[in-house]
Structure 1
């Protein structure tokens, strides 16, 4: 059974790997939407994979770490691509969410995103 929780955050960044003069080489901002998926068994006593309140508590601290931040200044996100943001979240969320199955990061205004199902050796 899979369940998910979504959260949004607003953040600025620039891409150090972008060519000089490219718009992504300059500081700019985005609205991001993250979707965090858990894959687990339904507890027969509760009928739940996890209480959504607990799920929200686990992910809220990461939203706060990203929301209204300069992502390049967040430790571990010096190159804040969609790919790196999903892996950064995975590495930090997995200890508190052992049933973590997928992380999606969307930039709705750009019609793009990234889906990460964890490291291949998981």
Structure 2
């Protein structure tokens, strides 16, 4: 069974490693969406793979570091592409959420990065 829980946050960033003529080189903001996918058996007693409240509690400290911040100033996110944000989130959540199988980071409704630990 797979479950997915979504979160949103607002943040600014710039991409320092693109040409200065690239529009993402300039500071700008996004309304990010993060989807966490967890997979495992359904517990016969609780009926859960993982309690959504436990997922929320695990993500809350990560969310505090991202929401309404300049992502370039967050430790280890100096080049905050959607790809690297998804890896950054994975690295912080996987130790405590062993059933985590994927992190999706949407910069817009039409573009996102997916990371599964590989």
Q: Note whether the superposition's TM-score is higher than 0.5.
A: yes
Correspondence for 1:113: 112
1:70 & 1:13 partners in 2: Cα distance?
A: 5
Gaps of 5+ in 1: none
Deviation (angstroms), 1:69: 0.5
Q: Which runs of 5+ in 2 are unaligned?
A: none
Matched residue SS, 1:41: coil
Q: Distance in 2 between matches of 1:36 and 1:20?
A: 33
TM-score by length of 2: 0.95
SS of structure 2 residue aligned to 1:95: coil
Runs of 4 or more, structure 1, over 6 Å off, are none
TM-score scaled to structure 1, two decimals? 0.92
State how many pairs are aligned.
Answer: 118
What residue is the counterpart of 2:11 in the other structure? Answer: 11
Shift of 1:116: 1.0
> RMSD in angstroms over aligned alpha carbons?
1.0
> C-alpha separation between the residues in 2 aligned to 1:46 and 1:113?
33
Query: Alpha-carbon deviation of 1:117?
Result: 1.2
